[in-house]
Chains A and B, each alone.
Chain A
Amino acid sequence: MSALSPAWFEIGLALLLAPLLNSVIARIKAAFAGRQGPPLLQPYFDLAKLLRKGAVYSSTTTWIFRAGPIVAFATTAAALLLLPNGRVAAPVAFPADFVLLAYLLALGRFFTISAALDTGSSFEGMGASREAHFAALAEPTLLLGLAALARKTGALSLSQILPTTSLLAPEVGLVAVALAVILLCENARMPFDDPTTHLELTMVHEVMVLDHGGPDFAFVQYASALKLWLWSALLTALFLPASGNAWVAGALTVAGVFAVACGVGVVESSMARLRLLRVPQLLATALALTAVALILVVR
């Protein structure tokens, strides 16, 4: 754990600024639609409002429902410990640590799905079923893409793989495209899910948390914002140059994350949601891209 301060500062920034990502995306979508959009600090106001409320729990639910949002938040925050930025290693780094990262997110997903099933409602059941289905198909791409990059750089830890890749190599480009697709899938953005629809039949992630309210819902919102930050930082780290001051790299990461958020906003404004049957095809394409990258690297 050398160079401690920049890594922890980065995590602090992530915890502080994550909700801004949602407002950036909302502003860009509003710009595309010719509106002005909500103020940038709106997510913070929403969180504060939610934290001031009481809670209503369904009589069908058990302690799992109350645990779901907490586990989702905690796992995403714990996953931040494994993320490097620029030249600074993550606070916790060891060989094959990206496996732990993926599985921490899966732990959060397990409890979110269980909390959804706990309500005994068919809406949440539908969201849970689709979430489980998409996640099973999206998991291999992340690990295979990072494995390809591992072979390219000859290292096994995220803190050593990510800073040393250069975008000019086509393999990195292929992995970046695949990871961008998976980012959209895991964060429930278009074309996989529509975060602004409130028709239960068309939602995936939103409908899983339908029955949460008050502080629980605040945790859920915050956790999903953190998850978007996590994925954006992962994607940005693919493009960061290896050399440079640690603080400069940190600033570049933050800039990159917001750039990715803008990109997500643009994609959301220009694409419609895919039919449910087409989603596996898109995810398989992402997997194929990482497989091509791996084959090219191993050659």
Chain B
Amino acid sequence: MDTLLDRLMLLLILSDLTMLALRRFSAALGLLALQGGLLAALALAAHQPDFTGRAVLLALMGLVLRGVLFPWLLRRTARRAGIVEERRPFVGFVPSLLAGIGLLAAAMAIGARLPIGALPTLGLVVPASLFTVFTGVFLVVARRKALSQCVGYLVLDNGIYGFGVATVGNIPALVELGTLLDALVAVLVMAIAMYRLSEEFDHMNTDQLDTLRG
């Protein structure tokens, strides 16, 4: 537990746990920005010891998009739609926290068994990424508001990215640009959809929107 990478991954785990226990969206979006920064640092650390210009550029792009643009877009949408916090999730906050601990234990157990070894000193990267994926899925499933589900999707994406860094180490530029573009388009679409929904329906509880069929 003494490498910088492990400390970064511990911060990632703590940010996931905090997100499970939060209600206010402003704090959740702040944590999302923090995760973007942590992932940029992870990408840089994966390229040690040689910091090529390309690597730095890609990490910077990731930081700008994940750490700045996505949270800002979602914050704008939240402000316009007037949503502040998740009031009645399907799974309350203390049970979410306890479930998070269980998911962390599971991620640790599974991560120790997966045969992945691109980086020589992986430490906590694989379990932390798995846990982030689990957290993202949990947020999508256990929360009512559409914005929570959007945040959950982005957390899921963060986890997959971390997992990718752990597997491949040096992600080709094309793949990296492709995933960033994907995420950007998804967030834009979700932001526009949420804004329209809030204008049309005056709420964002997705469980009341299930008659929009066919």
Q: Are any A and B Cβ atoms less than 8 Å apart in their complex?
A: yes
Within 8 A of B (CB), among A150-204: 168-171
B108 at the interface (CB under 8 A from A): yes
Given A292-B14, A295-B108, are A284 and B94 also a contact pair (CB < 8 Å)?
yes
Closest chain-B Cβ to A149's Cβ sits at a distance in Å of 14
Question: At the interface, yes or no: A285 with Cβ under 8 Å from chain B?
Answer: yes
Complex interface: chain A residues within 8 A of B1 (CB) = 169-171, 296
A14 and B143 alpha carbons, distance in the complex (Å):
50
A residues less than 8 Å from B105 (CB atoms): 295
> Which residues from B are CB-within-8-Å of A284?
21, 94, 97-98
Nearest B residue (CB) for A278:
B93
A288 in contact (CB, < 8 A): yes
Q: A288-B17, A291-B101 given as contacts; is B10 within 8 A of A296 (CB)?
A: yes
B108 CB, min distance to chain A CBs, angstroms? 6
A280 interface residue per 8 A CB criterion: yes
Against A, the Cβ 8 Å flags (1 = close, 0 = not) of B1-24 are: 110001100100110010001000
Q: Are B94 and A295 in contact (CB under 8 A)?
A: no
Asked if A270 lies at the interface with its beta carbon under 8 angstroms from chain B, I say no
How many of A's residues come within 8 Å of B, CB to CB?
A: 14
A281 at the interface (CB under 8 A from B): yes
Given contacts A285-B21, A299-B108, contact A292 B101 (CB under 8 A): yes
A171 neighbours in B (Cβ, 8 Å): 1
Contacts of B155 in A (CB 8 A): none
When distances are taken between beta carbons in the complex, the residues of chain A under 8 Å from B7 are 170
Interface string of A56-76 (1 = CB under 8 A from B): 000000000000000000000
A-B contact count, CB below 8 Å? 42
Q: Is the interface of A mostly helix, strand, loop or mixed?
A: helix
Give the residue among A168, A280, A288, A291 with the most B Cβ atoms within 10 A. A288
Question: Is the beta-carbon distance between B21 and A281 smaller than 8 angstroms?
Answer: yes
Task: Indicate if the CB atoms of B93 and A288 lie closer than 8 Å.
Answer: no
In this assembly, does B189 line the interface, its C-beta being within 8 Å of a C-beta of chain A? no
Alpha-carbon gap, A284 to B99, bound state (A): 12
Question: Which residues of the other chain, B, contact A291 by a CB distance below 8 angstroms?
Answer: 101, 104
CA A288 to CA B99, docked complex, whole Å: 10
In the bound complex, CA of A199 to CA of B101 (Å): 38
Q: What's the least CB distance linking B25 to chain A, in Å?
A: 17
A168→B127 CA distance, assembly (Å): 22
* Most chain B CB inside 10 Å of its own CB: which residue of A169, A280, A281, A295: A295
Contacts of B13 in A (CB 8 A): 292
Question: Beta-carbon contacts of B99-128 to A below 8 Å, as 1s and 0s?
Answer: 011001100100010000000000010010
User: Which residues of B have CB within 8 Å of A169?
Assistant: 1-2
**Chain B contacts for A299, CB-based, 8 A:** 108, 112, 127
Residues of B within 8 A of A170 (CB): 1, 6-7, 10
Contacts A170-B7, A292-B13, A295-B104 known; A285 to B112 CB distance under 8 Å? no
CB B93 to nearest CB in A, in angstroms, measures 6
- Complex alpha-carbon distance, A240 and B93, angstroms: 35
Residue on B nearest A173 in the bound complex, by CB: B10
Q: B residues 68-102 with Cβ under 8 Å of A? A: 93-94, 97-98, 100-101
Cα–Cα distance between A286 and B182 once the two chains are bound (Å): 37
Report the bound CA distance from A299 to B97 in whole Å.
Answer: 20
Closest-CB distance, A275 to chain B (whole angstroms):
13
Contact B108–A288 (Cβ < 8 Å): no
Bound complex: CA A281 to CA B112 (Å)? 31
Task: Say yes or no: B97 contacts A288, CB within 8 Å.
Answer: yes
In the bound assembly, the distance between CA atoms of A291 and B108 in angstroms comes to 13
CA distance A281 to B108 in the complex (A): 25
Chain B nearest CB, measured from A294 CB (Å)? 9
Q: How far is the CA of A295 from the CA of B17 in the complex (A)?
A: 14
Which 9 A/B pairs are nearest by Cβ-Cβ distance? A291-B101, A284-B94, A288-B97, A284-B97, A170-B10, A299-B108, A295-B105, A288-B101, A295-B108
23 cross-chain CB contacts under 8 A: A168-B2, A169-B1, A169-B2, A170-B7, A280-B94, A281-B21, A281-B93, A284-B21, A284-B94, A284-B98, A285-B97, A288-B21, A288-B97, A288-B98, A288-B100, A291-B101, A292-B13, A292-B14, A292-B17, A292-B104, A295-B108, A296-B10, A299-B108
Residues of A near any B CB (own CB < 8 A): 168-171, 280-281, 284-285, 288, 291-292, 295-296, 299
